[in-house]
Amino acid sequence: METLITILVGVLVTVAVYLLLSRNLIRVILGTAILSHAVHLLLMTMGGLKKGSVPLLGENAGNYTDALPQALILTAIVISFAVTSFLLVLAYRTYKETGSDDLSALRGIDDE
């Protein structure tokens, strides 16, 4: 199972890199979003995808699932949500101001 998920992470990173290298601003933002998903999956896989029970003391289970990666992912998802929404607003404002969302057209724009 871990191998499968790791391959999936690889596929997601490939897609993200492809999008990040494009000239369209929206694609770049989507690229960062997909990259964040890939990283979250990786984080979860690195903790081990065990089939254990809930990590509560006194439940007398044979083995517990490592809860830490999931706590980390929750935090990271919130952060990625905030950052992505900020980037989208920034892209929109830039488009309104400059009339372009093509990164190569945005190069070397001077003041006012």
Partner 1 sequence: MNNMIVMPMIIPIVTGIFLIFLRPYVKAQRVLSIVSIFATIGISVYVLNRIQIDGILRLDFGGWLPPYGILFVADSFAMLLVVTTAIVTGILLFYAFSSVSKAFENMFFYPFVFFLLAGVNGSFLTGDLFNLFVCFEVMLLSSYVLITLGGRKVQLVESIKYVSINVLSSWFFLVAIAYLYGTVGTLNMAHLSVRVAEVGQGSLLTVISIIFLIVFSLKAGLLLYFWLPGSYSVPPTVVAALFGALLTKVGIYAMFRMFTLIFYHEPGITHKMIGVMAAVTMIGGCIGAIAHNDVRQIVSYNVVIAVGFILVGLAVSTEVAIQGSIYYLLHDMIIKALLFLLAGTMIYLTGTARIEQMSGLIRNYPILGWLFFITMLSLAGIPPLSGFIGKVYVGQGAIEAGAFGLLAIAFISSIFVLYSLLRIFMNCFWGETIINEDDDVPLKKGILIPCVLFGILTIALGLGAEGIAVYVSDAAHTLMNPEIYIKAVLQN
Considering the complex, what minimum distance in angstroms separates the CB of residue 5 from partner 1? 12
Q: Give whichever of 61 and 71 is closer to partner 1, judged by the CB atom.
A: 71
| CB-based contact 73:39 (threshold 8 Å) | no
**The tokens of 35 are what?**
């990259």
| CB-based contact 60:41 (threshold 8 Å) | no
**The tokens of 54 are what?**
């809930």
Closest CA to 88 of 40, 27, 36: 27
Q: For residue 69, give the 3-state DSSP assignment.
A: helix
Closest CA to 39 of 17, 24, 57, 22: 17
Considering the complex, what minimum distance in angstroms separates the CB of residue 72 from partner 1? 6
Considering the complex, what minimum distance in angstroms separates the CB of residue 79 from partner 1? 5
Q: Give whichever of 61 and 105 is closer to partner 1, judged by the CB atom.
A: 105
Q: Give whichever of 15 and 83 is closer to partner 1, judged by the CB atom.
A: 83
Contact set with partner 1 (CB under 8 A) = 20, 25, 28-29, 32, 35-36, 39-40, 42-43, 45-47, 68-69, 72, 75-76, 79, 82-83, 86-87, 90-91, 93-94, 97-98, 103, 106, 109-112
Q: Which residue has the tokens 């999931």?
A: 70
Considering the complex, what minimum distance in angstroms separates the CB of residue 24 from partner 1? 12
